[in-house]
Amino acid sequence: MAGPVAGRYVTSTGEVELRPDPYVADGWEVFVNGVPSSHISADPLRLEYEYMRWIAAGCEAVIDSRLDASRLRVTHLGGGACSLARYFAARYPSARQTVVEIDAELARLVREWFDLPRAPRLKIRVGDARAVADGFRPGSRDVVIRDVFVGAVTPRPVTTMEFLAAVRRGLGPSGLYVANCGDHADLRLARSELRTMATVFARVGVIADPPMLKGRRYGNIVLLASDGGLPVMGDGVSAQLTKQLLAGAVPAQYRDDAWTRAFMAAGGRVRYDDPGVGLCHEL
């Protein structure tokens, strides 16, 4: 491993910039085409981005209560510098993970820069997230995490019912799907994504900070879905998750299926692929 060197690098889809973090010893921030994408530090269990901590907390709540951590299979759609995959490799050493990254040169660079686990613990597969999801073998994954962006926007083909049906087929009976949704104050995208998720999965949930849930700004909302069940407000798993989320630098809240269905009903529309066009529409 050559190690990280600050600078700008040409990649397969544009440019990546690697900057040292002036506030975190041995910390590095990765910008993809000008947008903050990942943060890596010496401690793999340290996640600087709040939404990544929320994803980790939501995943752990389900994994530790419903899944076999010794046989865990995780797929990350969207890679960046593999911060979350590196975290889960440290948190669950027996896990087998695949990161799907569309930018081949970025995938090569992060392997060169950072101490990422090698296959079979962590594989980086170069490919398009939607195309890879469409090819999932039935029941071949326990957790699928979507963190796919082009600039600051999630590509529409990884938000539709057809995409989610492919993800659901790829998950085991108690599997978990998690999506990082960047949305504006109207929360239209989050509501539509959740409504689409609810047409495919039995249970849905949300993690975000209160100002975001109240529609006061642009930010990240973590969306969760599962057929095997999610924490229910008032149970022990939910209580522990709530405690963990409130302890962060930006306190967040977990909202269960009942709350989420009322939230998504206020303007959410199911998103479908447009046949033969490669785009999608809302109904």
What is the Cα–Cα distance from 193 to 6, expressed in whole angstroms? 37
pLDDT confidence tier of residue 150, bands split at 50, 70 and 90: confident
Would 34 be classed as within a structural domain? no
Candidates 128, 210, 134; CA nearest to 165 is 134
Would 25 be classed as within a structural domain? no
Would 188 be classed as within a structural domain? yes
Identify any residues that bridge with 273 across adjacent strands, giving them in sequence order: 280
What is the reported pTM?
A: 0.95
Is residue 16 scored above 80 in pLDDT? yes
Would 283 be classed as within a structural domain? no
Would 20 be classed as within a structural domain? no
For 165, the domain range is 47-272
Would 173 be classed as within a structural domain? yes
What is the Cα–Cα distance from 200 to 219, expressed in whole angstroms? 25
Is residue 278 scored above 60 in pLDDT? no
- Say if residues 122 and 85 touch (Cβ distance below 8 Å): yes
Taking each helix axis from N to C terminus, what angle separates 50-66 and 83-91, rounded to the nearest 10 degrees?
A: 40
User: How many domains, the chain?
Assistant: 1
Report the CATH number that the domain containing residue 175 is assigned in CATH: 3.40.50.150
Would 226 be classed as within a structural domain? yes
pLDDT confidence tier of residue 276, bands split at 50, 70 and 90: low
Please write the tens of the pLDDT for every residue from 41-77: 999 999 999 999 999 999 999 999 999 999 999 999 9
Helix spans in 19-143 (H): 50-66, 83-91, 104-113, 129-134
What is the Cα–Cα distance from 206 to 216, expressed in whole angstroms? 17
